[in-house]
């Protein structure tokens, strides 16, 4: 006698392999991540090369270097950058909901656990390495569009703080979720970590340009290495937050306080 399908399952579901059904949430989550990166790459490739000007930002080159930015012209850029941060948060929250509600797994499966002393010490070392790589990359000329950087620092501090908060979701997206799930699918930590760095770099093509992608990809190896080593997402988030803090508070940049510290020593 032919066995009837289980109650509540359709014939289509009963024909779908169990392992594929189990992996479907992960495939959807990874597709969301790849979709975000693809969108940013396409925009960087086809969009305007001078983002501030395309957003109506008025700025003038100063004789001594740098740019003067008209604060009255920042409305459109503030709106678009804030929307971009909102998208980052939406994707991060969506991935967390996939983990909890669809995969039915704890957040420890994406590295969300209380950091210990060893995690914090490793994070401190990663912070130092991050700035060393960034310094070398900047010396080689792979820096963001200076006009974009000037306009970014001219944005209202609340908008920059909102952008800075996005590092939480970037770590969820590219480290905790992506590395863990790609590692499960491929069985390779190397593949998961390398793909994470490449996609993270490409996601930053918008605004900084493709030259900046190489610097971001390089510093992403610091985040990925720290995560693979410690499997602690808050530790990675702490390093990322400290590294991007100059976006909100410029004196926190090592390029400002480190020379003064060396002179004091």
Yes or no: say if 204 and 187 are a contact pair by the CB < 8 Å rule.
no
Note the pTM of the prediction, 2 decimals. 0.86
* Chain mean pLDDT for the chain: 85
Whether the per-residue pLDDT at 150 is higher than 60: the answer is: yes
Length of the chain: 265
pLDDT score recorded for residue 4: 44
Residue 255 parent element (H or E): helix 254-264
Mean pLDDT of 147-173: 91
Give the Cα-Cα-Cα angle 97, 99, 104 (nearest 5 degrees): 110
Give the three-state DSSP class for 105: coil
Give the Cα-Cα-Cα angle 221, 224, 225 (nearest 5 degrees): 80
Token digits for 102?
Answer: 């669809």
Q: How confident is the model at residue 18 (pLDDT cuts 50, 70, 90)?
A: low
Yes or no: say if 92 and 170 are a contact pair by the CB < 8 Å rule.
yes
Token digits for 84?
Answer: 């971009």
Yes or no: say if 76 and 56 are a contact pair by the CB < 8 Å rule.
yes
pLDDT per residue over 225-244, tens digit each?
A: 999 999 999 999 999 999 88
pLDDT score recorded for residue 257: 57
Mean pLDDT of 72-82: 93
pLDDT score recorded for residue 261: 56
Largest CA distance in the chain: 89
Which ranges of 47-116 would DSSP assign to H, the alpha helix?
51-54, 75-97
Q: Which of 52, 58, 227, 73 is nearest to 148 (CA)?
A: 52
Mean pLDDT of 116-143: 82
Neighbours of 151 (CB within 10 A): 26
Separation CA 152–CA 62 (nearest Å): 17
């Amino acid at each position: 006698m032919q066995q009837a399908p289980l109650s509540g399952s359709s014939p289509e579901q009963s024909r779908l392999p169990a392992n594929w059904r189990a992996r479907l949430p992960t495939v959807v989550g990874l597709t969301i991540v790849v979709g975000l990166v693809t969108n940013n790459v396409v925009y960087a490739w086809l969009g305007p090369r001078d983002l501030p000007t395309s957003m109506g930002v008025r700025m003038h080159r100063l004789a001594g270097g740098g740019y003067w930015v008209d604060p009255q012209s920042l409305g459109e850029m503030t709106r678009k950058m804030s929307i971009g941060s909102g998208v980052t948060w939406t994707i991060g929250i969506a991935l967390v909901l996939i983990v909890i509600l669809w995969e039915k797994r704890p957040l420890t499966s994406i590295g969300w656990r209380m950091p210990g002393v060893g995690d914090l010490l490793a994070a401190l070392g990663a912070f130092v390495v991050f700035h060393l790589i960034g310094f070398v990359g900047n010396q080689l000329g792979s820096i963001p569009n200076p006009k974009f950087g000037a306009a970014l620092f001219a944005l209202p501090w609340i908008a920059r703080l909102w952008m800075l908060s996005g590092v939480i979701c970037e770590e969820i997206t590219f480290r905790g979720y992506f590395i863990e799930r790609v590692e499960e699918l491929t069985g390779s930590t190397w593949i998961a970590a390398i793909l994470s760095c490449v996609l993270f770099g490409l996601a930053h093509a918008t605004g900084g340009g493709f030259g900046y992608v190489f610097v971001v990809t390089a510093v992403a190896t610091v985040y990925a290495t720290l995560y693979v080593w410690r499997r602690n997402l808050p530790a990675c988030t702490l390093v990322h937050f400290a590294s991007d803090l100059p976006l909100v508070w410029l004196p926190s940049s090592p390029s400002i306080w480190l020379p003064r510290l060396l002179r004091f020593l």
